[in-house]
Chain A
């Protein structure tokens, strides 16, 4: 563990921007999101969590897959792989965990997504522990926590006028080259310990038994009611650090164009609409069920992990206060009978 004075932070960030694309929380009119910064003073570390998760650094809202020019006898393709070295600075431990989950999606047994994976390989994650997790956080129920280090290369713990810096990987160590930081003394360590103990995540969900309930509740009447409040706006999916659905479209003019992928959401009716007019998930009920099932059953079936990190963004951003914690509690409280015996 090392010690970093807060007044050293700016110089460190400025130095990092020389060698890396640095993405850090930036406050724009009260809305915090991860943006590329040119200088350390553009970044704010005084925030609870970003509105949009830092997944957009590795999996942008919209990106070119390739561009093309069509000639009569051939077509020229130009791949658009982003190979810049990056640092995501000051992300919360829950969001670091989301990358471990997304890794499963973008690399399966047959295919690898070079866009996400190349960025992922070239990105160093510097976490910032949560001294005061807000009331919507339930990360400790999902295997994370306000100071969890899983997936991170470095972790900053704010102890007032200084940060205690936990070096977790060699890649993290590299970011500190030339810094010559002192080791954290006894007092600083104790202060960090105290901060960690004081950071209470008060809200919890019960995952135990949830999967086995969902295994047999696809046709349960609970889905008839539970979705009713939902508007299908997809604010939950767009602000979710583990949602990864996307669309692919062509943008072209004349004989030149690009293939673009953009975030999409399972909450939209067009998402699954067939050309024939048939829609396997025709109403909000099926779409809401899909979202819950995907996170808490299908993802568990496929990757043995729950596709939620407990960041609480879907709760904070839902326009009708639909709370995933209550949805889970409701499912847990439901008596389910197996419909396939």
Chain B
């Protein structure tokens, strides 16, 4: 019987301060054992439990893409005990990782379709995984037009700035970045994500929308998508709830009869419409 509670040992090879407010750090981890790397097969949208031995474990969306073999990447906000401990770790530390857990973005359904990816703040982690996956030369041909709308309060709070700059230069992805208030030297848009989505007006025809961000952004972006003609079945969202086991047993992350850890974290808006509003 495979023990789903045992973490795989990984080494922290890069500890990077992602945002200028120092709240988000990105951790790049390498597997200590080759067989673990082989068995850890995941897709964008999945998460893992990362543990600091002696402190505890917490769930994080996987920010790397399976098209980037050899390592896993997590971007973590400092909010609690485990994340504070993570933020203090020197490179070289051995960590534990359990996963991959949860379902993924419905990549197979996206094939042959246009994909509109909308993110806000530091919820861009699994969206980075998704964009990186789609843009990989072996995969890019499987998908139609890719539009990314990504907003943060100010330029310093955007994640993955180098990659955003690289995407900007490409012609096979439309990247729209936005910040809340004007800042000198900013060449992107200014305005909240819902308003910018309305301006950009991505077509709903033959398209899926993936939305990840703070609740307030989601709340105002959904009506915009509806107006643009995206049916609830083609609006994809990712939920977060407090978790412990990550495997549908410990009882705390449920929304109605669904467990975010096991049945999610990715749900369509149509699925969420069937569940109580308790998340």
Contacts and interface: CB of A to CB of B under 8 A. Distances in A.
Given A70-B54, A108-B249, A298-B254, A114 B3 contact: yes
Which of A111, A117, A244, A298 has the most B CB atoms < 10 Å from its CB? A111
A251 B58 CA distance: 15
A319 B167 CA distance: 61
B240 A274 contact: yes
A104 B53 CA distance: 31
Contacts of A252: 53-55
Contacts of A259: 5, 51, 57
A248 B245 contact: yes
B223 to A, nearest CB: 19
Given A272-B241, A286-B278, A301-B257, A75 B250 contact: no
Given A114-B3, A272-B252, A298 B257 contact: yes
B94 A74 contact: yes
Q: Which interface class (under 10, 10 to 19, 20 to 34, 35 or more) fits A?
A: 35 or more
B53 A70 contact: yes
B249 A244 contact: yes
Interface string A293-313: 110011101100000000000
B248 interface: yes
B191 interface: no
A117 B1 contact: yes
Nearest to B278: A280
Nearest to A219: B276
B9 A250 contact: no
Interface of A: 65-66, 68, 70-75, 77, 79, 81, 105-106, 108, 110-115, 117-118, 218-219, 244-250, 252, 255, 257, 259, 264, 266, 271-276, 278, 280-281, 286, 290, 293-294, 297-299, 301-302, 340
15 contacts: A66-B5, A71-B94, A74-B32, A113-B4, A117-B1, A218-B256, A248-B56, A250-B51, A266-B252, A274-B240, A275-B83, A281-B278, A298-B254, A299-B257, A340-B273
